[in-house]
């Protein structure tokens, strides 16, 4: 015997989400049935709305309701610096520090030969075009993740952009604030010694 169709379909929908197997999907589906009607309706509407009303900014690749996005249209921001990130989530994380006031460029991915992802598969061409059209941009900060793929992408961007006379920098690697030295991994420790700062 199968579950009644409405719940079977809902379980099927939940299993399409990443990291959710049949057991968790079943649990979530039964939970959904016990939720307030307004919450379920709101959930359904927010799914449709997120898919329908959001697009990527044609300039920087940020997720936005209006194109260009609020960051690209904000003339009070520093128009000379572009911080390159892998994903919109990274942009949000940096933006929430309220300390960076330049512009962004979202790659929507990272160079990964193992996953078959080359320079044409991520948002690099639009970055080059953007730098050519906006000569006021003279620094690109590469804010890809501090792992092998992020480093490779940073290296690629550096070799691509430096010959064009653009100042390419990389986010500092080192000890996370509040962390213990004896818990830090070796490569982080080496990087923190190499990148030591004057006091």
Residues in contact with a copy of itself by CB under 8 A are: 1, 3-7, 9-10, 12-13, 16-19, 24, 26-33, 35, 37, 39-54, 63-65, 70-71, 87-89, 92, 95-96
Distance CA 174, CA 32 (A): 44
In angstroms, give the least distance from the CB of 12 to a copy of itself. Answer: 7
CA angle 166, 170, 172 (to 5 degrees): 150
Task: Identify which of residues 121 and 151 has a Cβ nearer to a copy of itself in the complex.
Answer: 121
Helices and strands in the chain, H and E counts: 7, 6
Q: Are 124 and 157 in contact (CB under 8 A)?
A: yes
In angstroms, give the least distance from the CB of 199 to a copy of itself. Answer: 33
Cα of first residue to Cα of last residue in the chain, in angstroms, is: 71
In angstroms, give the least distance from the CB of 82 to a copy of itself. Answer: 17
Residue 83: in which H helix or E strand, if any? strand 81-85
Task: Identify which of residues 53 and 182 has a Cβ nearer to a copy of itself in the complex.
Answer: 53
In angstroms, give the least distance from the CB of 160 to a copy of itself. Answer: 26
């Amino acid at each position: 015997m199968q579950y009644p169709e409405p719940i079977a379909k809902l379980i099927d929908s939940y299993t399409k989400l990443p990291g959710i197997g049949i057991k968790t999907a079943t649990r979530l589906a039964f939970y959904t049935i016990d939720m307030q009607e307004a919450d379920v309706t709101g959930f359904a509407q927010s799914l449709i709305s997120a898919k329908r009303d959001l697009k990527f900014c044609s300039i920087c690749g940020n997720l936005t309701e209006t194109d260009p996005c609020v960051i690209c249209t904000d003339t009070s921001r520093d128009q000379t610096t572009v911080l390159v990130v892998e994903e919109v989530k990274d942009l949000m994380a940096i933006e929430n520090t309220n300390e960076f006031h330049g512009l962004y460029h979202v790659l929507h991915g990272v160079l990964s030969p193992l996953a078959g992802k080359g320079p044409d598969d991520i948002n690099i061409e639009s970055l080059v075009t953007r730098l050519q059209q906006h000569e006021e941009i003279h620094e690109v900060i590469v804010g890809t993740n501090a792992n092998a793929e992020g480093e490779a992408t940073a290296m690629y961007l550096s070799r691509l952009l430096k010959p064009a006379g653009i100042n390419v920098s990389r986010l500092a690697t080192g000890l996370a604030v509040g962390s213990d030295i004896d818990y830090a991994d070796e490569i982080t420790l080496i990087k923190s010694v190499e990148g030591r700062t004057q006091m």
